[in-house]
Structure 1
Amino acid sequence: MFRLSWSTFRERWQLFLGSIITVSIGVALVQSSLLILITAASFDAPSGMPALARARLQDSYVTAISLVGITLALAVFLTVFIVSSTFAFTVAQRRRDLALLRLTGGSRKQLRRLLLSEAMLLGLVGTALGIPFGLLVMQWQSRLLVSFGFLPTGFGPEWQTWILAVSVGIGLGVALAGVLVSSRRAGRVRPLEALRGSGGATRVMTPSRWFFGVLFLAGATAMMIIAQVAGPSAAIPLTMLVALAAAVGLSALSPLVVPVFARVLGLLLRTRPVGTIAAANLRDGVRRSAATAAPLIVLVGILAGLFGTALSITEASERELRRDTAADFVVTSPVDDASRIAGVPGVATTSVEVAVPLVLTLPEHDEDESGTPLGHARVIDPAAYRQAHSVRAVSGSLDALQGHAVAVGAGRSGEPGFSLGDTLHVRIGDRELRLPIVAVLPGKMSGGPDLLLPSGITPEPVLTSTTAQTFVSTATGADRTAVGDRIRASVHGTVDSADAWVRQRAEAEQRTQLSIFTMIAGMAGLYALFAVINAVVIAAADRRAEFAAARLSGLTRGQVVRMAVLESATVTATGVLLGGVAATGTLLGIRGALQRVTGFGVVELPWPAIGALVTGAFLVVGLTSLWTARSATRPNPTSLVGDD
């Protein structure tokens, strides 16, 4: 059976080439993400590094690990989804060949063994190409992480020999899994029905499509509802899952939508033969159209949904920060200079907030395992802090933040083990402290300090090694411009108006959000785009005789090419529309979460990016269809019909 598979592969390598490339890209993405993740997870900051720089470096590694972990999960999902859909389409395109094999004496079991043998062969070839390609992807991915600031300059992922076994397992696993369901379905179709193109061979909406389509759409709806009541840390991952689940569900049910677009096309172009034939081909080739639309749905759903989420979060965070900041100026300066701002004429109140490095110590672990860096802590005066920020504790009170105590800030509220009354074991500089939690602040989309500390418990060397941020309110009737000039003259640092500071924070957050979602969705989008091209190429490879018959019936070569391009444009419109529906579910989920957390239910769409995405999809699919149709119609039509 393996010999027969090898013969089939050599004779019809054009049909299998797309499957090989999809496997190799999937293997490369998974291998690259896994190696970067392992290297980042095993990082240990140099012992001689200053405490604040060490904490920030380790915090960036934690962010990078989370980011690469999400990218790895998305790469695995896309690999399974794209490889499975590609293999299923390839098997469907060969139903006549498989029917002839059955008619010549082949059993259903032998047919399944043939397809599984082909999948194993394609998986091995794809893996062999994917492993070296993964090294190139790894270098590119790590450079992106460094350029976006998630990893330090000089970071280099380390090669691990055991990754070869993982890559082979991924390549063979997704290839065999991708063809398994298709092989069972191909074995159940009666040979004569497959030859005639009737009965079960023409059924596109199979029970499995209905089951998975409804299941994933129901899951997307449930996650969208949960995201609206979840906290900030859970809302974003849930909305990402909404995009994926909705895209898969709509891809499975897309054969129900393609005929609708075909009817619309037929009505619009009912007076033109090319349009009428294109509409008829769409109705007859629903499986082919659905296979092309599926990766488009994923592409548009992921990119539009995730980038819309990033912009919506940024907009809500900016509005929330502007609402909750009750100050006229924000001054960043050395700690010693901050104490002089209160004496500047025209200044009414000041809130001096000092960021300090802090390490959580876990007494139940050994000493060499006890250090776990926190994001950052902020030393404040509770009364001044409440004047500068509109904040109300969820539990406890900031009035109790005196002496040896700690308040859990927006970055840590709601986490297990950080409830009111718990005790945190921390190390600040060389001082070990046990601090009871006296207040828990609400979570915010605009972020905030992980922990709030009262003044007096931080060692002086730690305070002098960092900077202070002072929120300044001017006296009633004072000239704000003059007060700002006097502050600039009295401190060494930057003095920004509160509005300018909020804008700078929002712009920095937007850059970070877009960088995160670019890392997550960038390679996934390229993979899905290639899958679209691959589906168009596979579809055209099996239509040479169909195009020849159309030319012999009176159509010119140019009309046949225009017909193919018109079909691809209609399928692209279907994929873009359903992808937009998937993205809408994501945006509705994040809108509800933002409304509950910040009070601002905003939806910001990246219209330039969406326009470029839709235009690019039509151009890529159209040009691919144009090229494949011209290639398929180049030979003499009489020879193609005769060969068929």
Structure 2
Amino acid sequence: MITTLARKSLRARLGRNIFIGLAIMLGVSFVAGSFVLADSMKATFNNLFTELSENTDLVVRAELEGADEMDGAVRDPIDASLVDEVAAVDGVELAEGSIARFAQMLDPDGEPISTGGAPQFGISWSGEGPLNGVTLKDGAAPQGPDEVAIDKATADRVGYEVGDEMTIVFDSGQRSFTIVGLVGLGDTDGFAGATTSLFDIDEAAEILGAGDQVDTIEIALVDGADIDTVQGQIAELLPARVEVVTGEQVADETSDAINQIVDLIGTGLLIFAFVTAFVSAFIINNIFGITIGQRLRELALLRSIGANAAQVRRMIVIEAIVVSLTATVIGIFGGLVVARGIIAIFNQAGAGFPDVGLTMQPRTIIVALIVGLGVTLASVLVPARRASKIPPVAAMRPELGFTALSASRRLIGGAIVTGVGVAMFLVGLFLQPGGGFGLAVFAGGGALLTFLGITSLSSTVAHPVSRAIGAPIEKLFGQAGKFARDNASRSPRRTARTASALMIGVALISAGAVFASSLRDTFGRVLDRAVTADYIVTDDSFQGLPPAVAQNIGELDEIEAVSPFRSIFGTIGDEQVGVTAVDPNSFGDLINLDVTDGDYGGLVDGNGVMVFRDAADDRSLEVGDDVTVTYQNGVESTLVVSGIFDDNSLGGAWYISLAELEAASDQTPRDQFVLARLADGVDPIDGRAAVEEAIAEYPQAGVQDNAEFRAEQEDQINQLLVIITTLLSMAILISFLGIAITLALSVFERTREIGLLRAVGMTKRQLRRAVRWEAVIVAVFGVVVGVVVGLSMGIALAIAVPDSVIDGITLPWVNLVTVLIMAIVAAVIAALYPAYKASNMNVLDAISNE
């Protein structure tokens, strides 16, 4: 009987159940899609690199110490003469040198092809032997100095075909080639987002500027050879700081590096997915609470004809399970669509991901069930329990409803939960017990408790606040405004819970806006204070500028001082540090480090190092002390502290000379950026024109003055805020869906009241206006609470980071006003259907409704 009643109840309330299911489905889809995307990308690349490693048994390469490629470290090249020595070892069937250097393709219009930050490689074509992991998709292999093969993903995206002419930019400048082939990695059409051009191996050394060096030596063994024995024999003939490893190890390292990137993407998406699920939980709980409250007479009648408390509880739970399970299953499949859509977006940007089936791990299904089914059941259990306690005689009472907690109990409970949440949040930010994990647990858990506590507290102030918000509306719109104001304040608990879902999204957006605005303004002040150069030459390829850029600029008569900024990793004691190499003769004229002890003389004269004050204090260093550093290639060097500075706003804590770096490392030099200062009396317009002409061969290099550079960095910060806001838009969308559902249920609940108002003269237009403005009052209430909470969180975040990152608080009033305006517009849209429903009720039927 209970099952039958539950089925009939679901059919009778099909519309509201669909809306409840939609909220559940959206949350589940986002969560499941995040897991599916991460798992699918990992599986794809792991299988790909495992397959490729089967062709390569051993790899000879330079060692890395204290850093890896994920850090951005680049291995030194090795002597090409080792190829013949390795090939002569017993058991080696084939040994080939491999070269991979910077090569930026230009599109048919001569503009650089964007990769969104992925590498741009030129590599040597190893032929059709056992070591070849590249698959020829169309055309032929490159031969000679004027032929190139490019990855098919880039060709398809840009519009190149076999036979076309294209220009490629190298460290030595630009060259033109004929496209003779299209290639992919294994079964894919691309190289995981990188643009890749391949050249005849006999010509690659000259084209790519490798000279008599190669980057790695790849080795295939004869059948039956013992890999450990051959590896040992090769290791004996290698020079210092060169190693031989298995192809399987290289594949594992590459997979791990890719997986770390995938994990970052997946974790970022999951954070926003769980925010969406958290907001959905508020909506689901609110809707079930209202719905069950409206069914109390029905449930009391069931009790009066013999249903016991357990049966009533069971019926409500069965309804919730059916709705949530259906929505969760749809949400899981929706997750596949979400993941496929994100992959399509990546491929549109040139990632070249293989078109393979998506991976659905059991863990994804379990988490989806916890989110969809678990959240719904948790939302329905309390109202179901309260409904089951209704005495049968209550069915005869004219008024029936839940008895809410007293305002004082809600106030005390909310204050306790909020206090605990705020304390955890601050402990996580400022003390970070347990490092990054502790930060996530304490700060994340604290934010969660804070939102729950604020929700409880807001219900105690919803009545006066909603009346205050509605006061100007009542004055402007008369009776319709009064009706909206009274309805919003009549049930403060409902108003607060409905607005709380919106509050969470607005709070997170506000916190991000405070952090981003403070970071942006701090960066502007840093540039004004620290950078004294006239021009900043930046790199649009994300792989660094060739040394020729700084050299060409330095040869200009219009330029007085120029310095590239080049980096390398090193280990000092047991700590990995980033070391920046500069031109010591010009550095002091371009950057103001606020040197408090010593000077730049040690960098000019020899192996000096400039050290940031905090780093020096941590190691008890003073001017004249020796510092032993082991660079990433294993070379050890003793540096002498020549100066100590207080301003590391640009990020560098250790500065050495270019000569010191070049003596320690043979890695292909790449400059992060170049600073230049005009000579006295040179017109800035003439100076800029000269600089632009000097680097015209390198389209990846962009010339900016301080104002332009500052604007570009601010734009990047603003773009980050847009991304965060976009990812939170799903939670915002669900919150307005909740407002629409709550209003629709409220209209149903007030059917008789609405009928009476229409009977005494309220027009349809007035009624529609009243419902719309009620939605606006709820939305503004949510925005106000969200802004207050978000500003507090954002200020705490800004204070928690070092002063070198953020040295002041900026309140983003424009962003906040924009959020308020958008919330009002969205609330009006959300209220359209409930307003239409209310205004089109039959007056006599509404009056006779009980």
Fold match (TM-score > 0.5): yes
- Structure 1 residues not aligned, in runs of 5+: 364-373
Residues 499-510 of structure 1 aligned to structure 2 (within 5 Å): 499-500=706-707, 502-503=709-710, 505-507=712-714, 509-510=716-717
* Aligned residue among 135, 148, 152 for 2:351: 152
Change (3 A) 1:164 1:245: closer
Q: Distance in 2 between matches of 1:153 and 1:606?
A: 41
* Aligned residue among 738, 761, 768 for 1:561: 768
Partner of residue 745, structure 2: 538
Residues 186-225 of structure 1 aligned to structure 2 (within 5 Å): 186-187=387-388, 197=399, 201-203=403-405, 205=407, 207=409, 211-212=413-414, 214-216=416-418, 219-220=421-422, 223=425
Corresponding position: 1:350 with 2:551: no
SS of residue paired to 1:462 = coil
Q: Distance in 2 between matches of 1:512 and 1:60?
A: 24
SS of residue paired to 1:596 = coil
Corresponding position: 1:179 with 2:380: yes
SS of residue paired to 1:120 = helix
Partner of residue 16, structure 2: 15
- Structure 2 residues not aligned, in runs of 5+: 53-97, 103-118, 122-192, 195-253, 539-544
Residues 96-111 of structure 1 aligned to structure 2 (within 5 Å): 96=296, 97-111=298-312
Contact 2:565 2:582 in 1 (8 A): yes
Partner of residue 619, structure 1: 825
Change (3 A) 1:353 1:17: same
Contact 2:514 2:812 in 1 (8 A): yes
Moved more, 593-602 or 568-577: 593-602
**Cα offsets for 1:147-205 (capped at 9, x unmatched):** 7x7x9354778322533444334322222222233334444666777966578524475
Corresponding position: 1:114 with 2:114: no
Q: Distance in 1 between matches of 2:639 and 2:846?
A: 80
SS of residue paired to 2:566 = strand
SS of residue paired to 2:351 = coil
Q: Distance in 2 between matches of 1:444 and 1:72?
A: 34
Partner of residue 368, structure 1: none
Corresponding position: 1:317 with 2:367: no
* Aligned residue among 264, 281, 298 for 2:504: 298
Corresponding position: 1:89 with 2:287: yes
Corresponding position: 1:529 with 2:728: no
* Aligned residue among 580, 591, 598 for 2:787: 580
1:69 CA drift (Å): 0.9
1:90 CA drift (Å): 2.0
Contact 1:120 1:172 in 2 (8 A): yes
Change (3 A) 1:438 1:82: farther
Q: Distance in 2 between matches of 1:235 and 1:347?
A: 50
**Cα offsets for 1:80-139 (capped at 9, x unmatched):** 442344234323332223344444444444433333222211121111221222223223
Q: Distance in 1 between matches of 2:589 and 2:432?
A: 29
Contact 1:282 1:567 in 2 (8 A): yes
Amino acid at match of 1:510: I
Q: Percent identity?
A: 19
Partner of residue 258, structure 1: 462
**Cα offsets for 1:539-594 (capped at 9, x unmatched):** 33433333224334554444433332332222222122112212222332244357
Contact 1:84 1:177 in 2 (8 A): no
1:499 CA drift (Å): 1.0
Contact 1:312 1:604 in 2 (8 A): yes
Residues 264-275 of structure 1 aligned to structure 2 (within 5 Å): 264=468, 265=470, 269=474, 272-275=478-481
Change (3 A) 1:132 1:208: farther
Change (3 A) 1:197 1:279: farther
Greater fraction of residues in strand:
2
Q: Distance in 2 between matches of 1:389 and 1:60?
A: 36
Amino acid at match of 2:455: S
Residues 31-70 of structure 1 aligned to structure 2 (within 5 Å): 31-40=32-41, 43=45, 50=100, 53=119, 62=260, 65-70=263-268
SS of residue paired to 1:455 = helix
Q: Distance in 1 between matches of 2:374 and 2:686?
A: 70
Residues 358-507 of structure 1 aligned to structure 2 (within 5 Å): 378-381=580-583, 385=587, 388-391=590-593, 427=632, 431-433=633-635, 454-457=660-663, 459-460=665-666, 462-463=668-669, 466-467=670-671, 469-475=673-679, 483-488=687-692, 490=694, 492-493=697-698, 494=701, 496-500=703-707, 502-503=709-710, 505-507=712-714
Residues 153-168 of structure 1 aligned to structure 2 (within 5 Å): 153-154=352-353, 158-162=358-362, 163-168=364-369
Q: Which has the higher contact order (CA 8 A, sep 6+)?
A: 1
Q: RMSD in angstroms over aligned alpha carbons?
A: 5.1
SS of residue paired to 1:471 = strand
Change (3 A) 1:526 1:251: same
1:72 CA drift (Å): 0.7
Moved more, 324-333 or 234-243: 234-243
Amino acid at match of 2:676: V
Partner of residue 139, structure 1: 340
Q: Distance in 1 between matches of 2:387 and 2:353?
A: 52
Partner of residue 5, structure 2: 4
Q: Distance in 1 between matches of 2:599 and 2:342?
A: 45
**Greater CA radius of gyration, 1 or 2?**
2
Change (3 A) 1:66 1:220: farther
1:403 CA drift (Å): 9.3
SS of residue paired to 1:94 = helix
Partner of residue 369, structure 1: none
Partner of residue 88, structure 2: none
How does the TM-score come out when normalised to structure 1? 0.77
